[in-house]
Chains A and B, each alone.
Chain A
Amino acid sequence: MTNPTRIAGLPTRRVSDGEIVTTPDGTTHYLNGMAALIYELADGRAVDSIATSVATIFDLEDEHALQLTVAAVDEMRAKGLVS
């Protein structure tokens, strides 16, 4: 998996429990708190590194955090939020 990087210029809006990102086709995508963290950390760093932060901040087992991070990055890629 290549290192995920947020697509530049997408409008984002923070809400109480996460973040809303709008893609160029006008679709709004809700990210829950953990997904918002993964999205914010997607600056070209490795997925493993993002997962380590997710594990530490959300008190998760490393393996579980990695699974969640990989799944979230895959979904964000499919929706055009990260490259």
Chain B
Amino acid sequence: MTVILDYLWLEVELDDDPRLVSLLQNSSTSSLPIRERVTIGVASGPDGDTVDIDGDPHPASGTIEIAEIAYGAVHDRVARWARDEGWSRIHAGLADAGGRRIMIAGPSGVGKTTTIVALADQGATVLGDEAVLVRDGQSIALPRPLHAKHGGAGINGLRQETILTTLPYDDPIAILDPAAINRVARLEHRPAPLDLIVLLERSDGDQPRVVPASTAEAIVALAPDAGPFTPDRVQLVRTVIELAESAPVVRLLMTTPAETARALLEIP
């Protein structure tokens, strides 16, 4: 038995093994044409586990190594296709809310994922929490499961049925099913223009606060993280500038995920 997953240009055929399915299950379809297929399996033997990528065996010891090999096989291929098709990758989440497409960026650990989950609880459609691909004014999320760090803003309050598995890093990471987060059977990914760019920042205040941000602030927030995925840095700078000029950019000084999500949805 196998499970077929749609990762934008990549069709992923997985062994129906919970160790793989719980890592990669994205419950998603996309409008982009499939360009490549990859098969991923996992087997256990006397010498440990092996992850097979298109029949090529990769020894793995334990859940984390299985996860990293499987993620690498999928994400590297998607990233390559994105580059080949002219898309730049921005480290950010993406949601559709109230007829608007909103990109949500912020440094790792700031609480992006928990804010994004809170957005879904308040009626938004959450499309991703890690990477947004942008090209010619269009945006689409990398359709992977969401990753919530236990030690970040925390996983307290997550609905149990949204958690596919937990990776036992020192700071464990909960892997969340995007369809369950959105309370839908499947999630559909389509390119669309951005209507709002939100730069999340930690705050010591007791209320979330929204502050308009400049193109320069957007560049500083978005471009450095995108560098490793966009070898042509001139193109990257141009893409980020065009992005920042295509939609309003605001800084959102955060408090709790629920309050932050509410403030985000109230941005005019």
Contacts and interface: CB of A to CB of B under 8 A. Distances in A.
Nearest to B226: A57
Contacts of A32: 234
A41 B234 contact: no
Given A18-B234, A36-B234, A56-B223, 13 more contacts: A32-B234, A33-B233, A33-B237, A34-B234, A36-B241, A40-B216, A41-B216, A41-B219, A53-B220, A53-B223, A56-B224, A57-B224, A57-B233
A26 B130 CA distance: 45
A59 B223 contact: no
Interface string A53-81: 10011110000000000000000000000
B203 to A, nearest CB: 21
Contacts of B223: 37, 53, 56-57
A41 B233 contact: no
Nearest to A14: B238
Contacts of A41: 216, 219-220
Contacts of A57: 223-224, 227, 233, 236-237
A17 B227 CA distance: 16
Contacts of A53: 219-220, 223-224
B216 A33 contact: no
Contacts of A33: 233-234, 237-238
B138 interface: no
B243 to A, nearest CB: 12
Interface of B: 214-216, 219-220, 223-224, 227, 233-234, 236-238, 241-242
Contacts of A34: 234
A19 B238 CA distance: 9
A79 to B, nearest CB: 20
Nearest to A6: B216
Nearest to A44: B216
B182 to A, nearest CB: 34
Counting chain A CB atoms within 10 Å of each CB, which of B219, B236, B237, B242 scores highest?
B237
Contacts of B219: 37, 40-41, 53
Nearest to B215: A40
Contacts of A59: 227, 233
A55 to B, nearest CB: 9
Given A57-B223, A59-B227, A43 B214 contact: yes
22 contacts: A14-B242, A16-B238, A33-B238, A34-B234, A36-B234, A36-B237, A36-B238, A40-B219, A40-B237, A41-B216, A42-B216, A45-B216, A53-B220, A53-B224, A56-B223, A56-B227, A57-B223, A57-B227, A57-B233, A57-B237, A58-B233, A59-B227
Interface in A1-35: 14, 16-18, 32-34
B240 to A, nearest CB: 9
A56 B223 CA distance: 9
Nearest to B230: A57
Contacts of B233: 33, 57-59
Contacts of B227: 56-57, 59
